[in-house]
Amino acid sequence: MGMEEGKSKVTTTTTVAAAGTGGPAFGAGFFDKPVPPELKQLRDLFREDPSEAAQATFHINSQICHNLREIKVERCYEGLGEDFSNFGQNGAHPSNEDRGHSLYEDGEHPFIGAIGRLNSNNNSCMHIQGSMSTSGSLARVLPVMYSPTNTCNLQPQQLHRAQCEGYQEDQHQPQRSYSGRSSTTTLTGAGYALEGLRFISRSTCCRTDQKLQWWEAVERRFHKLASADGSLSRSNFAACIGMEDSEAFAGELFDALTRRKGEDDVSCISLEGLKDYWYQITDESFHSRAQIFFNLCDKDSDGRIAEEEVKEMIMLSASSNKLSILEEQAEEYASLIMQELDVDKQGYIELSHLESLFRAAAQGLSRDNSMIRSNNAINSKISLAPTPLRRRRRVLKSLLYLNRKAMYFLWDHWQRIWVLASWVATMVGLFTWKFIQYKNRADFQVMGYCVCTAKGAAETLKLNMALILLPVCRNSMTWLRSTLLGSIMPFNDNINFHKIIAGGILLGVTMHAGSHLGCDFPRIAAADQKMFMATIASDFGNKQPSVMEIVLTLEVMSGIIMVVLMGFAYLLANHWFRRNIVKLPWPFHRLTGFNAFWYSHHLFLLVYAILIIHSLYLFLAHDWTQKTTWIYVAAPMLLYMGERSLRVFRARQYKVNTVKAAIYHGDVLALYMTKPPGFKYESGMYIFLQCPAISPFEWHPFSITSAPGDQYLSVHIRALGDWTREMGKVFREALDYSERKKYEIDENEHDPRFPKLCIDGPYGAPAQDYKKYEVLLLVGVGIGATPFISVVKDVLNHIRLAELNLVDYSSNSISSSKSSESPTVHGQNNNYASPVPLMSMASPRRPKKKHRPPTQAYFYWITREQGSFDWFKGIMNEVAETDHRAVIEMHNYLTSVYEEGDARSALITLVQALHHARSGVDILSGTRVRTHFARPNWRKVFSRIAESHPGARIGVFYCGPSVLAKELERLSSRFSQNSSSKFEFHKENF
């Protein structure tokens, strides 16, 4: 026991080997001591079923800890300084064994977290690790687990490795050095490829109860797939263990498990055999994982892996992960693995090489990870009984928590809340005003509350028909965004507000039309004739009409036509129809897709014309001052018509020449156009694009991928709908494949091969506000990365500008260099010289900016296809080469590849690590940016950023599917509440 001066972390250890030979691993002496009631259940559980007790998770009171002095206890105290005696219980000076047992949460109850490892050997010992900090946070509680090895004599790092890997450390056998270059980085990186190796998904290997549940599911599938004789064929093995999408790999795994038993040519197995295979592939022990993986590669069972076998496994892994490009280079990567592991040039790899790789990974992770792993689940069999005081405090904490959540929600969404509240209040006010007005009229005697409801709903419809045009007046929205109103109104939600108003119109139409057709008109036709003639007869020519006669009037028919047109447009604007999710038979298939949405939405011109007619011929209103519909809609209609006229004018003014086009993998078309004179924009904005050769009417929005300082304008278009597919087809035909490699940007001439294009914009988007934040988290899914490519380029240009300012203050402009985006065409080299400067400022000494550029940017790009990385390969390489200060941190995620640690991607991870260590180039993206597998752990991403930037204002910008948007918004709110950093979430809406 001791303490190192000058450090805020003190480690104390008390060791007494467990005595006795009877009972479970604790030894009899431990259970003979008097124990408090809270530990009696634990003691009985160990005596009855040690294996079940081994999974128990429990809280230990500091008083209980006094009974654990005959156990090796390793405790880590953080932030205690040189004197930690005041942490004893009740203020007393603790003994050496008792120091640090007290750990308080809100000063109420002392706890300590513990983890034990048991051994069936007589001289076994138990390790309990507790974590304590001056902040008084609750200790982490971890499960008790059995260990097949005696770990009493291991050092802390070795102990951690034994706990994580479950193998016996041979301290006398020196580790084999299998890299002639002695590269620690290469060893650790390659080892990490195999660390945590799994043959089944992560969720199956977490807890014993989960393993049992998964085995029960496997057993049920066995009974469905087994033949009449009760055996499972090799071809059904994949489906039985849940690997339907990797049948080839599952077949190889079946063969490897068979070879491990010393058998060959086994085509089917029984239920017992399947159970044996299942427990082998879910076994987490070090040796078992390494041996199975070795057998998977060693197909001839000679105890050695030859280069040809490595190549076959790489091809199998590439096929399982849909990496066709990797398959083509399997031979090269197999040679790379052999060079790394077969240092003796024997022509084969042995099991010891893989084991060394595992151990290198374990050592690397033991330095990075904490000795204590958190486990939030508390076993219901062992718990502390709640007291009335504890219950009251728990209720109070819950109320305070809810209050805090409500306050943070108001703070995060106050702009949306006040706008929506004002809108709802206005709707309620208009409805109530008209409802009361008609209740006091003679019409009420005939139609009752039906007419009150219909007229109240009609008044809300007037305002909503005016408001729905404002959010789509994009020029006005872009201008207002830069004014004072931009700080109090959520202009980024303009499309969402447009949809909400549409929902309000749908509700109003339902109430208005439903009340008239279902209630008013039948009551008029069935009303007492004397009452009818005395009240509303003048509105119907002094003749009581039938329901059909009322319906056939101009007033009602115009209303019905409007309802049909608006219902049709509303239906085709639905996400299911607009995104072609609904599959309709011929000829109705043309009612889905963007074209159907675009044309149906332009029926609003006819709707507004009919609306004016409908409002001029009303049954119960005669004075023109009562016919107020035109007053509501006049100004918004004029504003919208002015904006459409401005689009036509700018389409003629902004002359653009298409100087380069490139077709990428995944049907992505990159267009490079000359920037029109006077065309100014900010990163994150978008433009509308029209191709008259396809349609002289359709305009489609696309994010600008060039930076404001670039002298050209670029967009990237993915073929997802009718119009975008036609664009790709037109430009694909225009491109001569033999000349693509030679063709470069020429800003002075328009290539006659390309069709004429017109642009309109630029228009504001959430991403343009990125300069308001100190730190950026940019998240793009697939083609959703486009808004942030411009942002990354702009940040990179600022980095260049800062470097030039530091180096040469006399320079008046930035010299020409490589373009911020160098397109790749079908895998060709994409580095070409740009003839224009990257930034066009008059002097780098006087940069024109309202905000300081961000100090750190994290860019996460998630895509399903390996070829997608070609879209922005140039900018990724430029960031790696230029950003020496690590301002931009790029993370690529390929979701088609199984998560890191999965046996199906283990060799790919290994090759990736070795290749990147040698050449600095990632094998999947072809850039210097390393590609990760599967999807990011967003909780860890937010946690790391919050820890790295305490107190910072962090802008989270996202473009992609709404499912991930909800998760990112939730995490932004949670980490804003629980850390000093403030995350503000923004989603791109078009």
pLDDT at 1: 40
Tell me how far apart the alpha carbons of residues 225 and 467 are, in angstroms, rounded to a whole number: 60
CB 123 within 8 A of CB 107: no
433 & 528 share domain? yes
Assess if residue 825 is contained within a domain.
Answer: yes
CA dihedral 240, 243, 247, 252 (to 10 degrees): -90
Q: Kindly state the tokens that stand for 242.
A: 């849940």
pLDDT at res. 743: 44
For the full predicted model, state whether its pTM sits above 0.85.
no
Q: Please, what's the b/e burial string for 893-915 (b: 16 or more CB within 10 A of its CB; e: otherwise)?
A: bbbebbbbbbbbbbbbbbbbbbb
- Quick one: pLDDT at residue 74? 34
Contact yes or no for 291/231 (Cβ under 8 A): no
The predicted structure's pLDDT at residue 98: 38
165 belongs to a structural domain? no
146 and 225 together in one domain: no
Query: Is residue 641 domain-shared with residue 665, that is, in the same domain?
Result: no
Same domain, 665 and 633: no
Residues 631 and 678 in one domain: no
Mean pLDDT (10-residue bins), the chain, 990 residues: 38 35 39 47 50 41 37 34 36 37 34 34 36 33 32 37 37 35 43 58 51 80 87 87 82 85 82 86 76 80 82 82 78 81 78 67 44 37 56 79 79 88 96 92 87 93 94 90 86 90 94 91 88 84 87 91 93 84 80 84 92 85 79 93 88 85 89 89 91 87 90 90 87 67 47 83 87 92 91 86 56 36 38 34 38 84 88 87 85 84 77 81 83 89 93 92 90 89 86
Q: Which of 588, 617, 645 is the last residue of a domain?
A: 645
Q: Looking at the structure, tell me whether residues 606 and 743 fall in a common domain.
A: no
Same domain, 351 and 488: no
Domain assignment of residue 587, yes or no: yes
What single string gives the DSSP state of each residue in 631-669?
A: HHHHHHHHHHHHHHHHHHHHHHH-B--EEEEEEETTTEE
196 and 132 in a common domain = no
Last residue of a domain, which of 101, 133, 153?
153
Rounded to whole angstroms, the Cα distance separating 468 from 258 reads 67
Q: Say how many residues make up the chain.
A: 990
Distance CA 232, CA 323 (A): 30
Task: Using alpha carbons, list the distances in angstroms from residue 196 to 193, 288, 684, 889.
Answer: 8, 12, 40, 26
Q: Which of 620, 645, 670 is the last residue of a domain?
A: 645
Look at residue 754 and tell me if it is in a domain.
yes
Look at residue 925 and tell me if it is in a domain: no
CA distances from 807 to 773, 801, 842 (A): 27, 10, 17
Cα 802-803-808 angle, rounded to 5 deg: 105
**376 within domain boundaries:** no
Burial of 616 (0-12, 13-18, 19+ CB in 10 A): middle
Dump the DSSP string for 814-883: PPP-B-S----STT-----B-SS-S---S-TTS---SSPPPSEEEEEEEES-GGGGGGGHHHHHHHHHH-
Specify the number of domains making up the chain. Answer: 4
31: alpha, beta or left, given left = phi > 0 and alpha = psi -120 to 50?
Answer: alpha
Q: Is residue 438 part of a domain?
A: yes
**Model pLDDT, residue 851:** 61
Please report, for the domain that includes residue 321, its CATH number: 1.10.238.10
Predicted local distance difference test score (pLDDT) of residue 962 = 85
Query: Domain range spanning residue 554?
Result: 417-645
For the domain that residue 842 is a member of, what is the CATH number? 3.40.50.80
Q: How far apart are CA 119 and CA 205, in angstroms?
A: 22
Which residue in 615, 633, 594, 631 sits closest to 469, CA to CA?
A: 633
Q: Are residues 847 and 704 in the same domain?
A: yes
Task: Give which of 641, 822, 826, 660 is closest to 757, Cα–Cα.
Answer: 660
**Same domain flag for 562 and 604:** yes
Are residues 605 and 690 both part of a single domain? no
CA 152 – CA 117 distance, rounded (Å): 10
Half-sphere exposure for 202 (CA within 13 Å, toward CB) = 7
Residues 706 and 596 in one domain: no
Q: Is residue 308 part of a domain?
A: yes
